[in-house]
Amino acid sequence: MRATGGRNIAEHCVEYKSGYKYQLFKDYQVAVAIKPANPIATHYIDLDQAGTLTLRKGYAWDGPSGPTIDTRNFMRGSLVHDALYQLMRMGELSAETDRETADEELRRMCREDGMSAARAWWVFHSVRQFGKSAASGDSSKPVLGAPRQDCVDEETPAADDDPNFAESNDNTD
């Protein structure tokens, strides 16, 4: 750490991630079709064996992604979809066995929330076609630094290395 004016530069470094548009104001809980063999618990996301998904206040996500408009009938589905994909990137769920179910949950919630059948069909087929890489561990957002990138601590974990960091889904819903 370099000293400037008697202070370490690290004292002034902000480490953050970009790409999040929304943040939960209060906890949200919903039943999903994915039922893991063992309960999953992270700082912001829990998924129990009965399929109860709990997202905690402060969870950040990017909302609907791709060539779309963020409408109210898309928000809940994008929230849940992002959280399920995050669990896949963290290795808590299997992208191979759980991704299609997560995509179906997105479509179901969008329809329940009033999205037209045609748009929900398009959303589902888009995530099926283009979402595979977002469910893999290599799609994490980089840690950024301010006022300079070189002030980021090399020990700072990448997005999905830290299970307590609410990392969002990249361009898949």
What sign results for the dihedral spanned by CA atoms 86, 92, 95, 99? negative
pLDDT recorded at residue 166:
43
The pTM score is 0.80
Work out the burial of residue 123: count CB atoms within 10 Å of its CB; fewer than 13 is exposed, 13-18 middle, 19 or more buried: buried
Q: CB count, 10 Å around CB of 154?
A: 4
Taking 50 as the threshold, does the pLDDT of residue 140 lie above it?
yes
pLDDT recorded at residue 155:
64
Taking 50 as the threshold, does the pLDDT of residue 164 lie above it?
no
Q: What is the pLDDT of residues 86-103, one digit of tens each?
A: 999 999 999 999 999 999
Taking 60 as the threshold, does the pLDDT of residue 26 lie above it?
yes
**66: Cα separation from own chain's centroid:** 15
Q: At a CB cut-off of 8 Å and minimum separation 6, what does 147 contact?
A: 12, 13, 14
Would you kindly state where each structural domain of the chain is located, as residue ranges?
A: 1-18+142-161, 19-140
Taking 60 as the threshold, does the pLDDT of residue 165 lie above it?
no
pLDDT recorded at residue 159:
45
Q: Provide the mean pLDDT of the chain.
A: 85
DSSP classification of residue 167: P
Query: Pick the residue with more confidence: 45 or 140?
Result: 45
